[in-house]
Amino acid sequence: MSSGKNERLIVSPSPHIAGDETIPKLMYAVLYALIPAAVVSILFFGLDGLRVLLLSSLFCLLVEYLIMRFMLGRSSTLADGSALITGLLLGFNLPSNLPAWMIFSGAVVAIGVAKLTFGGLGRNPFNPALVGRVFLLISFPAQMTTWPLPRFLNFSWGEDAVTGATAISVVKEGLKQGESMDSLLAKLPSLIDLILGATGGSIGEVSAIALLAGGLYLLFKKVISWHIPVSYLLTVAVITGVIWLIDPTKSASPLFHLFTGGLMLGAFFMATDYVSTPMSAKGQLVYGVGCGVLTVVIRLYGAYPEGVSFAILLMNATTPLINNSFKPARFGHQAA
Q: Is 26 in the site for another protein (CB under 8 A)?
A: yes
* Cβ count within 10 A of residue 241: 17
**Contact region with another protein (CB under 8 A), list: 115-123, 185-193, 195-203, 305-313:** 115-123
d(CA 92, CA 100): 14
Nearest to 320 by CA among 122, 110, 125: 125
Q: What do you get for the CA distance between the two ends of the chain, in Å?
A: 58
Among 196, 275, 315, 322, binds another protein (CB under 8 A): 275
Q: Is 318 in the site for another protein (CB under 8 A)?
A: no
Among 81, 112, 120, 132, binds another protein (CB under 8 A): 120
**Contact region with another protein (CB under 8 A), list: 46-54, 86-94, 101-109, 276-284:** 276-284
Q: Is 149 in the site for another protein (CB under 8 A)?
A: no
* Cβ count within 10 A of residue 303: 5
Find the shortest distance in angstroms from Cβ 85 to another protein: 12
Q: Is 329 in the site for another protein (CB under 8 A)?
A: yes
Q: Is 75 in the site for another protein (CB under 8 A)?
A: no
**Contact region with another protein (CB under 8 A), list: 99-107, 169-177, 189-197, 326-334:** 326-334
Cα–Cα separations (whole angstroms), residue 140 to 98, 169, 259: 10, 17, 26
Q: What is the dihedral of CA 105, 109, 110, 112, to 10 degrees?
A: 110
Q: What SS3 class is residue 221? A: coil
Binding mask 213-232 for another protein (x = CB under 8 A): ------------x-------
Q: Is 4 in the site for another protein (CB under 8 A)?
A: yes
d(CA 242, CA 187): 24
Find the shortest distance in angstroms from Cβ 69 to another protein: 17
Asked if 120 contacts 292 with a C-beta cutoff of 8 angstroms, the reply is no
The one-letter amino acid code at 73 reads G
**Contact region with another protein (CB under 8 A), list: 12-20, 97-105, 295-303, 307-315:** 12-20
Q: Is 16 in the site for another protein (CB under 8 A)?
A: yes
Q: What SS3 class is residue 148? A: strand
Among 73, 142, 182, 334, binds another protein (CB under 8 A): 334
Element spanning 164, H or E: strand 163-164
Q: What is the helix, strand, coil percentage profile of the chain, to 5?
A: 60, 0, 35
Q: Is 160 in the site for another protein (CB under 8 A)?
A: no
Nearest CB to another protein, comparing residues 124 and 251: 124
**Contact region with another protein (CB under 8 A), list: 19-27, 161-169, 245-253, 307-315:** 19-27
Nearest to 87 by CA among 57, 112, 110, 108: 57
Nearest to 127 by CA among 261, 25, 264, 269: 269
Among 17, 142, 186, 303, binds another protein (CB under 8 A): 17
Q: What SS3 class is residue 163? A: strand
Q: Is 73 in the site for another protein (CB under 8 A)?
A: no
Nearest CB to another protein, comparing residues 303 and 336: 336
The one-letter amino acid code at 86 reads T
Find the shortest distance in angstroms from Cβ 5 to another protein: 8
Positions that interact with another protein (CB under 8 A): 1-5, 7, 9-19, 21-23, 25-26, 80, 119-123, 225, 274-275, 277, 279-280, 327-334, 336
